[in-house]
Homo-oligomer: A and B are copies of this chain.
Amino acid sequence: MRYELYYWPGIQGRGEFVRLALEEADAPYIDVARRKAGMSKMQRLLESKTIAHPPFAPPFLKAGPLLIAQTANILLFLGNRHALAPKTEAGRLWTHQLQLTIADFVTEAHDTHHPIASSLYYEDQKAEARRAAKAFREERLPKFLGYFERVLARARGPYLNGRALSYADLSLFQTVEGLRYAFPRAMARAEKKLPRVIALHDRVRERPRIAAYLASKRRLAFNQAGIYRRYPELDP
């Protein structure tokens, strides 16, 4: 069985958290909307009046008869299927808890450039974005990353769960990547206090399948349409 991933083409976005898990698991998948006629296939699914479990928004994953949406939910599913999460109930809940905390962090990072509404242009909320980004850089970014640094300090190994990699580690890697792209100056300052987070990031980057993925054309570059955008005025 090949998975079918549905996500907006042209950006990493939330789809990237799913891609990283699929790549690390070496699971066969099609990135549907990046193929010919893929966007209209995705739109048809989003607008379908008959599917029983309609997604609210991309990303969603077709896994045989299942159609699963919400990034953290897709990872919950893939984590169990591909040993990207612990087997115990306590371990699975903890990994999911970390993922949901990363999801909150990602939303806040996105909202720095769209604090008023996602439907408005950045240019129409630039002054507000400047204020929102200041609070994010000074309060939220250190708070979230400091939290993961503390979690890693208590883990009995280099990963959030200790010795075994989980999808939450892949997501934390991606979060660091995105923050470095969007807030290079703020991150350069913050990273001095985050040795464990950065060590985890580097370790994930060097895993053979992740390294091969990052070097491939399947990995899109960050750009000004995604969650993480580089506006110098938001990172003075």
Contact = CB atoms under 8 A, between A and B. Distances in A.
Interface string A57-70: 00000000110111
Q: How large is the interface on A (under 10, 10 to 19, 20 to 34, 35 or more residues)?
A: 35 or more
How many copies of this chain? 2
Majority secondary structure, A binding face: helix
A62 to B, nearest CB: 13
A53 B155 CA distance: 9
User: Which of A77, A89, A93 has the most CB atoms of chain B within a 10 A radius of its CB?
Assistant: A93
A115 B132 contact: yes
Contacts of A144: 56
B52 A76 contact: no
Contact of A97 (B70, B94, B135, B154): B70
Given A117-B131, A132-B115, A139-B117, A100 B70 contact: yes
B54 A94 contact: no
